[in-house]
Structures are given as C-alpha cells and as structure tokens.
Structure 1
Amino acid sequence: MDTRIKTLAVRATLLAALCAAGASQAATITIQSRDPAGVGFNDPTPVAPVGGNPGTTLGEQRMYVYRYVADIWEKQLTTDVTITVNAGWEALTCTASSATLGSAGAWNIWHDFPGGKPGTWYPQALANKLAGTNLSAGVPDDGSGFGNVDIKTQFNVNLGKSDCLDGSPFYLGVDGKAGDAVNFVETLLHELGHGLGFSVLTVYTGSVSSAVGYRLNADGSAYQASGGLPSVWEQYMYDNTAGKTWLDMTSAERKVSTTNALGLAWIGPQAVSGAATTLTPLPVLKVATSAPGYSGFYAYNTASFGPAVSSGLSLGALAVVPTDLVNGSGCLPFDGATSTAVTGKVAIIDRGTCGFAVKAKNAQNAGAIGVIIANNTGGAAPGLGGSDPTVVIPTISVSQTDGATLKSAVTAAVAYGTRRSPGLVSASLTTDPSRRAGADARGRPLLYTPSVLASGSSVSHWDVSAVPNLLMEPNINADLGTVLVPPKDLTYPLLKDIGW
C-alpha cells in the first residue's frame, strides 16, 4: 500500500504576531467528504450491518469507520484547534492481483510559527496545536475546495472487484474480524497517523535518485541538495553507523542512512521509554558448534505456515541446500545428494524465485526436520508469508548476513568432528533478555530502512523487526489493535516526542 505522506500543497509563513496557546482539551476531528453523488460516502448500495458497523448502505458503513477511527484519535490527542480531514473514495491504481489501497498525508505544512522550533517544518495539525490557532484560517482556498485542510485522504473505491485485488475488499466491521479482507479500521488508523505527523515529511525519500536526502527549501518550492529546512523528525533520527542525527547530516549522509538496514533509531525520550515496556525480548536463534567464531545468538523471524515456534524449541543440526541460480534454491524437489545432506537436519535455504512454503515443503519431502530461510537482500530477517497446511516442520528466517555466517559455520564445523562423525552446528530458539525486538542495542526503536529503498515506506515507519507488530510498520498486520500507547504500541509516544 502507499503509506507515504505526499505533501501536495505547501504553505510557509512567519507569524510573529500570533500568540501561542497551550492545548488543554481533547481533540476535535471533522471529516469533509469530497465524493460526488452516488460515489464513496454517498454510495447507496444496500449492505447488511457487519462487525459492529450499523450502516445499511456502503456509503454509510464507510463513513461510520471514518468516524470510529477519528473518535479513537480524538481521545488520544489534545489540541484546542479543530483537526480537519478531507476524505474521498477514488479509482486508484490496481490490477486483479495488486492494488494501491490508499494514502493520507499532511496537506499543509508550516515553519517559523509561534510555539514551534525555529526553521523547522511541521505538519499543519501539529503546528496549529503548538500555535494555538488555525494557521490556515483566512488564507484563500486554492480552488480545490480543500486547500486549507490539515489532512487529505484517499482510498481505493474499487478494491475487491474482479480487476482490483479480486476478492480482498475493505472490511468495514469494527470488531477486528477481517479474515482475508483488508481491515479498514487499522488501515485508516495508520494513515491518519501519517497525516498527524508520523513521517519525516520534508526530506525527499520517494525514489532511488540523487535527490534522496534533500530537504525542502523555505518557500516549499523545491528539494535542494544543501540548505533547506529540516523536519521536526530529524532531531530524533539517529544513525548508529554514522554516529549522528539526521539534523546534523549532509544530504549525502541522509541518503546513505535511508538504506542502513537496522541502523536508524528513533531517540525521542517518549518512544524510547515506551519501547522498554512494549517491545518483547529479542527472539534469537542460539547456535552451538565447536568451530570457533560461530556460536552465539542470531535474530530470526517466523512463518505464517507450519507449526508455531517459540523460545525453548530445539531445532537440531544444520545443513546447507546448495544455491540454485537458475531455478531458485529449494524450488524443485531435492536431488539425492541434497536429500541425504538434509535428512534429519534443519535445511538452510536461500530466499528467492518461489514461495517460502514451496521451499519448506520440498525440504520436508526430502527428510528435513526444519527450515531456515536466508534472506537474499540486506535488512532484517523477513516474515515468511504463504500457506500450505501440509507443511508440518518449523520454518524461520534469518538475515542475509546471518544466513551466510550459518552456512560458513556448517562448513567450518566438519573439521571439528571425527572421520566417522563430522562436526555439526546445532540450533535452538531462545530470547536475549538484554535486547528488544525492533530496537537497537541501547533499546531505541528502529525505523524502517531496508537496504533497497522502498518508495513510500522507507524511514517513515517503524521497522518490521518489531515484536509485537506495531501500527506504524509499513504493512497492516492481522494482529493489530486500536490501542496507540504502551505496552501495546508506540505510535502516540513518537507523536508526543515531536510535540503532540
């Protein structure tokens, strides 16, 4: 899905005469529809009430979810200035197998207003809170009818139809029982989070180009290689490799940081404090071998198929499935030699070409008792999607770097056995109580920085290594709730760090 904030309208101002007022009351969020008659919120198609949503037309159910989600945010936020969300249902890009679900973003942004940090960009809803007034009040509309709103949203009106992610419509219930449909409550809750300020906002991270890392200039007309104004986010974005925040980096350094997998942490005190009670101890693969330099702990991720895995599970000895650049490692039934090597052991298989469940099933058929998928790109160990009820052996994943290390360990261990019994590498699952899943070594939550820039997702989300899953990760996971604070989630702590 497209979850990147798109700053489609920009306003900059110097408002020296305004008086800042401290926000003291719960937020009020209004929703403006831009849908024409018969479309979106005005769709008269009869539907049955579903999952706590009492609407009897498709349009009514859509608006009910908007109001339901707005109410959640109202109870969380404090501001004396009404937050205005402009909403529409439109035909967005999609095919029978993929679709843009929608997006939301701050429609107006501001700098140098009373109550804000000088020379720093803020999204309008937050800027209004800090200034104690609606900064866009009295500014002529741009002709769109929504030129002065805080947040603009758009969602795919065709989702679930035969030519638009066939069979996976938005689920409009509010009970969390979405099944195979797309949970619209969680999707909208996530997107409004972006509009309220969960995004680096005014640093270019949209695609792989020389402009990545550039800041928006003071009049909002262009991203520039040097100068420009920082986002309020940048003071809290700390790159552990560079040893500095984005606020202190050059554009070139910020570009490198956007793809520093597992290397960019959020150091705002509210989110760091929240991470200590929200993120679980880091699940790790414990490896033991006589070969020096390989025993230790390795981070792992889990699969949506096969038996559930947890701390305390003994996996067994490891074996390596040869790399197959033509067909994809593990994508075809194993030959005799490979079957002999993996029988009674845990097969290490490179990611790529075919589905994870296919690799696991082929390993199982060859006699393996477990599977470790080694990532084929930089970054964290990936979550393993897919479905095959006939897979009955445990399957986990590790990072590309750790996968290479484990394969080397298997080779190195051979010499530490006997002629009749070569040395082995054994593995089990445990946790590292000194580390948190989704945080750096100092317990600071990680931002999403895969080694290949993910346009619309990189940097402005929590990393996918977080456990439990967090609302503001780049994907909407099935186990999310609607609580935005610790010990369930870190969305609101980050927003508090930037001024909410």
Structure 2
Amino acid sequence: MLVAALLLALGIGSAPAATMQIINGDAEGEGLNDRTSVAPVGGNDGGTRGEQRRIALQYAADILGSRLDSAVPIRIAVRFDTLSCSATRASLGQTAPAQFAAGFADAARPDTLYPAALANALAGRRVAAGTSDIDATFNAALDGEDGCLGGRRWYYGLDRDPGAGEIDFIGTVLHELIHGLGFISLVALTDGRSADAGQFPRVADGRRLPDIYSRFVKDLSVAGQPSWPQMSDAERADSLDNGPDLVWADDNTANGAAFLDSGLNQGYVRLHAPSPVVAGSSIAHWADALAPDQLMEPVLSARAEGRNGLGLATCALEAMGWTLINGARCPDFDTAAILGSADESVAADTVESETADTGGDVDDDDGGSSGGGCTLGTDTRFDPVWALLLGLSAWVLVRRRSSRAGTGTR
C-alpha cells in the first residue's frame, strides 16, 4: 500500500511538483513499521522509530519532488534490512532505478535507456509496468546493533543537524534517490557473464544501448574527445579509469559549475574515475576533487548533504531531461528545503503501511557497473551496487534489481 501522507503543502500559483509515493516494503513491526517508542527529534514528531523513518523518508523525497515536474507519480519501494556493518565500515543503503525504458514515443533521444521515473515524466504516462520506479534499501543495523560503526546511529531529524555519532538520514536518502532518478551509468566496469568491461547492457533485439547518463560522459584524453556512445567497447573500457580526463560534458552544467574552486577540466565537471576502477563507485559520482563539496560525490561530507540546495545535481538531472520547477535551478543553492511550499511543516503519515510485493531478486553477474548505494567507512566512500538487466520485446524495458554489491553491501 502506498504511504498516503502528503508532506508538501503547495503555495498558490506554484508549479505542480512531482508526487513522491513511498511503497512500504517492510513486514509488520519491522523497518518502516518498527514500533519502538522514540522521542521527537529535530522537528520529527513521530512517536515510533518506524514513524520517524517514514516521516524523514517522505520529507527527503519531497525535497526532490518539489524541484521536478512529473504528471506521473514517482513510486519508491523502500525497506529497511540489516545490511553489512562492522566496527569500521557499513553499507548505509542501496538504491537503483527499478526499470529502464527505451523507444517510447516521447523519448528525447532514440536508442537510449531512460530510468523509469524519467521515462514516465517525459511521456506524461506510465510507460513501464511495475510496482515501483525506484527501489531503495537502508541499513537497519544503524539503529542500535552492537558493533556497527562503534554505535553510530541514523539521525531522523528534519533540521538536518545530527550530533556526534549520528548520520544524517535525509542527506543519505537525497543522494540515493538522485541515483534512482537517473544519476547512474549502466556501463560495465568489469567483465561479467552478460557484459564485458566497457559494454552497455544488451536488450531484447540483441543491441547494446547506452543509458541517458552515459551520453554525457566524455573522455578528453581520446583523440576527438568523443562521448562514450561514440567510442568502441574497448575504448570505453580503457576510459573507465581516466581520472581527471573523464568528465560530464554538458554545457549548462559547465556554466553552472563556474563557482567551483577545483574539480573542472576544460570547463567540464570531472567524474569519479580512479585507477584502479572501484566497482560500484566509479563513474556514477562527481569526482571527489570538487570544491566546494557536492552532494553526488563519492565522499560523505556534512558540507554536501543537500542542506543548502542540491548543488550541481540539479544540473545533471536537467541535462538528462528532467524539468526543474518552483525556482529550482542549475546549480541549486540557497533554496528552501521544499520549494513552492507556504508551509514546510511535516505531518505524520495517516495511512497504515502494508508490506509491498516488489517481486523476487534475481542474481546476475553483469560486470560490476556503477549503481546507487552508499557505504560509510573509515574512508567514507559511497559504494553503489550493480543490478539485474532483463530485455523485453516491443519497446525496450530493462528491469533492474539489486543483485550484487561491492564492499560492505549484500
């Protein structure tokens, strides 16, 4: 059942924001339904741990939704599970688009895979059947499990002001959901059963199609400075760890990035492309050389958790096809948390949540590509996961399921 609370009160005359619908995937008494009594914290008045999680989750989702135009509700399947966690390293969560689509009539670029939420927004209708558009799992072990990061815990306050030993849940959710909205590359980072390093996923008719994110990836060290879709599989494989020369080649983003003190190459924003390749982390983040820090870097930073707008993330979303509304811009700084709202107060959800059947996971070793998860450890690196790819006939549909993770994830 969809969590039905509306946490965004729109002001008169504001543009219609994307409706972010949370699908509760947890069993009774667990995760989002955890009945453990807790005290209010940072403007989050939920009386149970599950209620505080739901309120904070919806608040983070609405921060994004208030900036994006979509006539089709964005469905986000969420659950809390015990993911890997040691005294020094933990998987905070893992998130990816649930599906990808290509070949629909309203696609801005032909022969290109779009994440489900963006495909629906462009088409103005649901082009991909399925329960969810984004699948997200967060680590329940960060709420008191012995030995997990030395006792560090999630902070569910809406004021985004965690204390010592606390991790801002809303900042983590923002990072994750932006991956789910399309800030993710499907190119294989390593050789696997269904793809070799440098290859795009294969669809039903046998072709390998690029995703919309990868269409903006360019290697400045290659003759002619081609974008990734213009390169051969072998050239892309060689490009994966080209560090400072691998960039996000969008002119609007480049113009918006003029405020950066570092992290640019020939005016373009650098992407995270270390050598050796970091499976699940490379490509799908800004380079950690960016200063000031940005939300979509691979390094967890209190200065880059979306507390003062989403920064350059809105530039990338806009380049891929999202329409920004309610005054959101590229880059997005010095803005209210929820735009277009006369009242940013958040109410508890009013409908009981039920377990949602999002289908079974399927294991598929498809080359350790970048994905959308994050790991916190002594090096504070995000560690996204790769997912399942299935081709369907007619218009192309690629369904992603979290099936394989990097260090510290399931």
- Compute the TM-score of the two structures, normalised by the length of structure 1: 0.58
Partner of residue 119, structure 2: 127
Deviation string, structure 1 residues 357-396 (Cα, Å, up to 9, x no partner):
xxxxxxxxxxxxxxxxxxxxxxxxxxxxxxxxxxxxxxxx
Of structures 1 and 2, the larger Rg is shown by 1
SS of the equivalent of 1:166 reads helix
Taking the TM superposition and a 5 Å limit, the aligned residue runs for 1:98-247 are 98-116=89-107, 117-136=109-128, 139=129, 147-159=130-142, 160-178=144-162, 179-200=164-185, 202-205=186-189, 211-219=196-204, 227-242=207-222, 243-247=225-229
Taking the TM superposition and a 5 Å limit, the aligned residue runs for 1:61-460 are 61-116=52-107, 117-136=109-128, 139=129, 147-159=130-142, 160-178=144-162, 179-200=164-185, 202-205=186-189, 211-219=196-204, 227-242=207-222, 243-277=225-259, 279-280=260-261, 437-440=262-265, 442-460=266-284
Partner of residue 329, structure 1: none
Root-mean-square deviation (CA, aligned residues, Å) is: 2.0
SS of the equivalent of 2:136 reads strand
Structure 1 residue 171, shift from structure 2 partner: 1.3
SS of the equivalent of 2:76 reads strand
Structure 1 residue 481, shift from structure 2 partner: 4.5
Aligned-residue sequence identity (percent) comes to 36
Q: d(CA) in 1 for partners of 2:299 and 2:24?
A: 26
Contact 2:160/2:307, CA 8 A, preserved across alignment: no
Where has structure 1 moved over 4 Å in runs of 4 or more?
Answer: 206-210
Partner of residue 20, structure 2: 29
Partner of residue 58, structure 1: 49
- Asked if residue 489 in structure 1 is aligned to residue 285 in structure 2, the reply is no
Contact 1:40/1:59, CA 8 A, preserved across alignment: yes
Contact 2:171/2:306, CA 8 A, preserved across alignment: yes
Ranges in structure 1 where 5+ consecutive residues have no aligned partner: 1-23, 140-146, 281-436
Q: d(CA) in 2 for partners of 1:63 and 1:31?
A: 9
- Asked if residue 48 in structure 1 is aligned to residue 39 in structure 2, the reply is yes
SS of the equivalent of 1:272 reads helix
Q: d(CA) in 1 for partners of 2:308 and 2:302?
A: 16
Structure 1 residue 158, shift from structure 2 partner: 1.1
SS of the equivalent of 2:215 reads helix
Contact 1:207/1:453, CA 8 A, preserved across alignment: no
Partner of residue 479, structure 1: 303
SS of the equivalent of 2:89 reads coil
Structure 1 residue 126, shift from structure 2 partner: 0.4
Contact 1:108/1:148, CA 8 A, preserved across alignment: no
Structure 1 residue 450, shift from structure 2 partner: 0.7
Partner of residue 403, structure 1: none
Give the counterpart letter for 2:219 in structure 1: D
Q: d(CA) in 2 for partners of 1:270 and 1:264?
A: 17
Q: d(CA) in 2 for partners of 1:73 and 1:207?
A: 34
Q: d(CA) in 1 for partners of 2:252 and 2:156?
A: 33
Q: d(CA) in 1 for partners of 2:48 and 2:268?
A: 45
SS of the equivalent of 2:293 reads coil
Structure 1 residue 180, shift from structure 2 partner: 2.8
Structure 1 residue 445, shift from structure 2 partner: 0.5
SS of the equivalent of 1:497 reads helix
Give the counterpart letter for 2:26 in structure 1: D
Structure 1 residue 499, shift from structure 2 partner: 0.4
Q: d(CA) in 1 for partners of 2:154 and 2:238?
A: 36
Give the counterpart letter for 2:250 in structure 1: G
Give the counterpart letter for 1:126 in structure 2: L
Q: d(CA) in 1 for partners of 2:58 and 2:212?
A: 28
SS of the equivalent of 1:76 reads coil
Query: How many pairs were matched up?
Result: 302
Counterparts in 2 of 1:206 and 1:166: CA distance versus 1, 3 Å: farther
Ranges in structure 2 where 5+ consecutive residues have no aligned partner: 1-14, 323-410
SS of the equivalent of 2:243 reads coil
SS of the equivalent of 1:30 reads strand
Contact 2:96/2:134, CA 8 A, preserved across alignment: yes
- Compute the TM-score of the two structures, normalised by the length of structure 2: 0.70
- Asked if residue 498 in structure 1 is aligned to residue 320 in structure 2, the reply is yes
Structure 1 residue 207, shift from structure 2 partner: 7.2
Q: d(CA) in 2 for partners of 1:206 and 1:499?
A: 28
Structure 1 residue 208, shift from structure 2 partner: 9.1
